[in-house]
Amino acid sequence: MTPDNLSTFTGYQFRHKELLEQALTHCSFSRNLNNERLEFLGDSILNLVISNHIYLQFDDASEGDLSRIRASLVKQEPLAGVARAIDLGDHIRLGGGELKSGGFRRDSILSDALEALIAAIYLDSDYAQAETVILHLFRDLLQNVDADSNLKDAKTRLQEYLQARQKELPRYTVEQTSGKSHDQVFTVGCELVDFELQSRGKGSSRKKAEQQAAQNLLDRLGL
């Protein structure tokens, strides 16, 4: 397959092929001209497009709820899934070491290349075109957002995950309280015995610190 075949999957035909070539070039292939800067830009564009879409779709969701929904859509695993759906790995230019180790199948490389591709489309055209391509590529993910799951707070999600697997529930411990009475900061530790995982969270209340600690563990579990 050639890079031009990507237009079939994305619905976009590049005018400046050098942008597409750069988006598909991993740093292991070229130190000077690779997709790292494009990845940086594409990440921001993707977050904006997804944020706007879910803001309009979930009009009753709070800021925290929207952040959780967005995080579930733009983290590495779903991005790599989108990249695989358009066979992006077949087009990425990799150095010899990465090629031999199967880098074209690695989530991190695939997700980075997808973000770089989004940036390249934006620079080759405009924001509206990049938005159209993103919503096209993410249409299945956006249609199947599990709002009930994502709108639950971190402690509830973590507890339900453990209960479904008949694992011991998390242990929360207040490790430190600092600051004056009207401006306290709580540090809470959370431990998952069965997974041998620990995390800490900080917040202006014990509840907020526990939520952050739980969210940190969810992130480490890839949830």
Cβ atoms 145, 72 nearer than 8 A: yes
Residue 146 clears pLDDT 90, i.e. is over it: no
* Those residues with Cβ within 8 angstroms of residue 166's Cβ, 6 or more apart along the chain or in another chain: none
**21 and 129 co-located in one domain:** yes
- The model's pTM: 0.69
Cβ contact 188:172 at 8 Å: yes
CB atoms within 10 A of CB 204: 12
| Co-location of 12 and 93 in the same domain | yes
pLDDT tops 60 at residue 198: yes
Q: Express each pLDDT in 170-194 by its tens digit.
A: 999 999 999 887 778 999 999 999 9
Could you say which of 98, 113, 146 is where a domain stops? Answer: 146
CA distance 222 to 50: 19
22 & 98 share domain: yes
Assess whether pLDDT exceeds 80 at residue 16.
Answer: yes
> In terms of domains, do 165 and 141 share one?
no
Of the three residues 92, 113, 146, the one that is the final residue of a domain is 146
pLDDT for position 129: 97
Q: Which of 88, 114, 146 marks a domain boundary? A: 146
CATH number at residue 84: 1.10.1520.10
Domains held by the chain: number: 2
Give backbone dihedrals phi and psi of 152, rounded to 5 degrees, phi first: -75, 150
| Cβ 113 vs Cβ 23: under 8 Å | yes
* Predicted pLDDT at 1: 43
> Both 140 and 158 in a single domain?
no
Instruction: Report the share of the chain in percent with pLDDT over 90.
Output: 68
**141 & 158 share domain:** no
pLDDT band at 149 (very low <50, low <70, confident <90, very high): low
One domain for residues 53 and 69: yes
**Selection from 162, 149, 147 nearest residue 221 by Cα:** 162
DSSP codes, 89-117: GGT-B--HHHHHTTGGG-HHHHHHHHHHH
pLDDT-derived band of residue 56, with 50, 70 and 90 as boundaries? very high
**C-alpha R_g of the chain:** 20
Question: Distance between CA atoms of 201 and 169, rounded to whole angstroms?
Answer: 17
Predicted confidence (pLDDT) per residue in 93-120, tens digit: 999 988 888 888 889 999 999 999 999 9
Q: Which domain holds residue 97?
A: 3-146
Q: Which positions are annotated as active-site residues?
A: 43, 115
Q: How far apart are CA 91 and CA 93, in angstroms?
A: 6
Residues 111 and 132 in one domain: yes
